[in-house]
A and B are shown apart, each in its own frame.
Chain A
Amino acid sequence: MGRFYKIVYGDYLQRTRSYAFLITLAASLYAAYAFVPAHDANYTTLRIGNYIGVSNSAWTGYVTAMMTSVFLSIIGFYLINSNIKKDIDTGVGMIIATTSITNFRYLLAKTVSNFMLLFTITAIICMMSIAVFLIRPGNHHFEILNFITPFLIITLPSLFLISSLAVFAEIVCYRYTVIMNIGYFILLIALLPSAQPISPVFDVLGVKTITTGMEQLVMNKFHLAEAKTGMGFHIGNKGHISLFEFEGLQWSAFYMLSRLLWIGIGFGLTYFSSLLFHRFDVTERVNKQKKQKPLSAETIQAPTAKTLKEIRLGTLPKIKPSFGIGLLIKTELLMLYRKGPKWLWLFNLGGMIALALAPVNIAHQMILPCLWFLQIGRWSDLATKEKTNRIHYFTYASYKPLSRLFSAQLLAGIIISVGLSSPLLLRYSIAMEPLPIISIFLGAIFIVVFAIFLGVISGGKKLFEVLFFFLAYSNINKIPVLDYFGALNKGTNYMVMMAVLSLSITAISYIWRRFEISRL
């Protein structure tokens, strides 16, 4: 047990000591503050028909727990889905493979450390919600159980399942993280609460059963035939909203059992993962998959081909100075093109055809953000791959690394984002609509500089992956404040704001990278 605990503890420590975690934590604190709006706020997060609860302990506790369950199911997976990859990248996995630890024990430790990470965020959100409740004016009685119980029953089982799902996904998709990212995105859309009532057994996030109970309460109290739940950030339109007193729900045995069931499924998934686990025999698998190729590095290593030959520097063809960045852009594009499985380009092609053929508002509002989201793996390490691949020794010692390489990376990323949106740009051009064209250009630039900015400040790709996922999900749900490519926001003020924002974060990234290089 001691060894198991040490693996979990070690994992937990190294992951919580990262910028990405700290920034996510800061975002979570803000989210906790925003989950239960003050009564004079211009938005709601949970509406039952035209009703919201008075801000007592029960309403605050339940809403925060449900929103956390949804929020962490959206971003949590992306925060934790590289736990085993880290062991592969650092070589620690090779050492682990030679120890007596069983696959199940190792993967269970990974599941538990994933869970601990999400639990830390949950605990902080819970404490923040209590603090907000106590600080905000109101004469409501503070009941701590109304805060803790919903988190324990609604949120934690979901998080355990997501923790085990991340482990499973890492085992199954260890070579293609992009499939993992996109696959989860699709799964999540299926998991999130729908309008249709479902049995608690299928209520993975534990939210639907609670909102159904709330709907029933409102219908009974106000003699209504219907009271549909609206969950998410709804801005404005609060005029017709009334208050109701919510004192909590009875936790049915069936619901409690269903929550335990999902924890059990989490354990089962971890066990199933252990049957498929490669135990860090990754290279061999790669070679096996490549053995169809007629030529490989292994076959070339004939004894005579192993050694250096004579090199006379003076006899080598003379080269000239060449300070253009064309070749750098070309290679950056080549690397972006080769990132992820090749067949993903078929999806890109399909997305571009859909952009050309679908109704223009759907193409702009829905297809474009999805198509860009497919590039998450390409853009996420645009400005961090030098460090993760230990190329920075070459790049930082190269000629004018900032103005040349940084610009090349930026331009290559933008070429991809603009290129993918070209069918839509063409349609707007034909329709002589310049404003959407400018908006899409600004969006294409923004998403790339956003990737670079988050990569530079966090030193990794995780933060961008988490936030890009959140952005894509919000875009599909048509949340205007996060529409960065002008699908919903049409005004020129918005365009100026996007241009200023992109310029600002580019400048910060540039200065940050310069500072980083200077203090090596």
Chain B
Amino acid sequence: MGCHSIISTEHSQMQLDIQNISKQYNKSKFGLKDFSLTIENGILGLLGPNGAGKSTLMKMIATISKPTQGSIALDGHDIIKNPDYIRQFLGYLPQDFGVYDNLNAYEFLEYIAAMKGVGGPNLKPRIESLLEGVNLIEAAKLPIGTYSGGMKQRVGIAQALLNDPKVLIFDEPTVGLDPEERMRFRNLISDLAENCVVILSSHIVSDIETIADEVAIMKGGQLLTKGSQAEVIRLAEGKVFETVLGSDELNTFKAKHLVVNTIRQKDGIRTRYMSNEPHAGSVQATASLEDAYLFLTQYKN
């Protein structure tokens, strides 16, 4: 299939199909194990503790890592055998990326555009629009080596949008952004999701909670659950409670229940916790995505 035709295809509905993939490092160590997932247009939030396999999964979809088993297909095209299929409309923001310090932002984006195989007369105005969008137009001619961490992160966001991406992968994208930037970034992702598959991982549950259409929770290289936020939250319903404890009771309490958070008050410590057998005097609380996440990753297992 010609590359030109691939890029010019308008995908109203895309489907990324991950079937039984594993990443095995040695006999006993797996990054991912028999993992299956289907992703369609919209935002999928990936949640999981460190070592859950989120970055491994994202690297595989971004074609920089190959599974030892299983298949990944985009709209029926096997991207393990033919990674260049997805690369043409992939936007990827890695967790721990670097830049060439002696290039300026404009030159760096031009370089990434060349690597992505995009150009034409509109490349320059597009780069300028993106730099305007990430608010780096004034600093565009300075070496990236002089940028702050947040500014570099914004260069990373701009590069992900260079090539009219249809699949966007953001691995911990809000690291280095201040609260206002995080809010704007969430808005940006919401806009992008209209015509794209967006996969977003974050340690900050509230980032996912605000924008994700669907949530997948992973642990130990395996998928624990996937569904809409309401479906996932439902798993923790009826198990979240709040009570007020004396400061000397807290340690004993923690040994029996999974404490989600505590707030020190005048009358004691307001404690939110999960349990099948609530403590006397507790009040049932409405479950949140964070509760569901903790329930699945810590309490249930």
- Which residues of A approach B to under 8 Å, CB–CB? 286-287, 290, 295-298, 300-301, 305-328, 331, 334-335, 338-339, 385, 389-401, 404-405, 517-520
Contact = CB atoms under 8 A, between A and B. Distances in A.
Contacts of B112: 394, 398
A308 B146 contact: no
A308 B133 contact: yes
Interface stretch (B148-156, B232-240, B250-258, B259-267): B148-156
Nearest to B2: A321
A297 B139 contact: yes
B299 interface: no
A344 B215 CA distance: 55
B181 interface: yes
B184 interface: yes
B117 interface: yes
A320 B184 contact: no
Contacts of B138: 300, 305
B50 interface: no
B135 A305 contact: yes
Contacts of A313: 161, 164-165, 191-192, 195-196
Contacts of A320: 118-120, 122
B142 A334 contact: no
B64 A322 contact: no
Contacts of B97: 390-391, 393-394
Contacts of B126: 316-319
Contacts of B113: 319, 322, 327
B134 interface: yes
Given A286-B145, A301-B148, 6 more contacts: A311-B133, A317-B125, A319-B113, A396-B64, A399-B3, A404-B117
A298 B122 CA distance: 30
Interface stretch (B11-19, B103-111, B274-282, B285-293): B103-111
Interface residues of B, number: 74
Q: Which of B111, B177, B191 has the most CB of A within 10 A?
A: B111
17 contacts: A306-B135, A307-B178, A308-B135, A311-B134, A312-B191, A313-B164, A314-B195, A321-B119, A322-B119, A327-B111, A331-B114, A335-B102, A389-B100, A390-B97, A394-B92, A399-B117, A518-B66
B148 A297 contact: yes
B157 interface: yes
Given A335-B103, A394-B159, A518-B66, A307 B116 contact: no
Contacts of A312: 191
A311 B66 contact: no
B191 A321 contact: no
Nearest to A391: B98
Contacts of B1: none
B4 interface: yes
B201 interface: no
Given A305-B135, A390-B97, A399 B115 contact: yes
A319 B118 contact: yes
A316 B129 contact: yes
Nearest to B115: A398
B184 A310 contact: yes
B117 A398 contact: yes
Contacts of B223: none
A390 B111 contact: no
A391 B100 contact: yes
Interface stretch (B35-43, B69-77, B83-91): B83-91
Contacts of A339: 102
A192 B199 CA distance: 61
Contacts of B187: 310
A327 B119 contact: yes
A520 B59 contact: yes
Contacts of B133: 308-311
Contact of A322 (B118, B130, B161): B118
B103 A322 contact: no
A296 B64 contact: no
A323 B3 contact: yes
Interface in B189-240: 191-192, 195-196
Contacts of A518: 66
Contact of A309 (B7, B103, B119, B135): B135
Nearest to B87: A399
B22 interface: no
Nearest to B96: A390
A393 B64 contact: yes
Contact of B115 (A298, A395, A519): A395
A520 B98 contact: no
B135 A399 contact: no
Interface string B152-183: 00100101011111000000000001101100
B157 to A, nearest CB: 7
Q: Which of B7, B99, B116, B150 has the most CB of A within 10 A?
A: B116
B65 interface: yes
Interface string B53-74: 0000001001111100000000
Contacts of B120: 319-320, 322
B66 A296 contact: no
A520 B63 CA distance: 10
Contact of A307 (B84, B122, B135): B135
B90 A311 contact: no
Nearest to B156: A394
B103 A334 contact: yes
Q: Which 7 A-B pairs have the closest CB atoms?
A: A322-B119, A390-B98, A320-B120, A398-B115, A311-B133, A399-B117, A327-B114
Given A290-B146, A389-B99, A397 B180 contact: no
A306 B162 CA distance: 21
B30 interface: no
Given A301-B148, A335-B102, A401-B115, A321 B3 contact: yes
A397 B63 contact: yes
A312 B99 CA distance: 25
A328 to B, nearest CB: 5
A317 B129 contact: yes
B150 A306 contact: yes
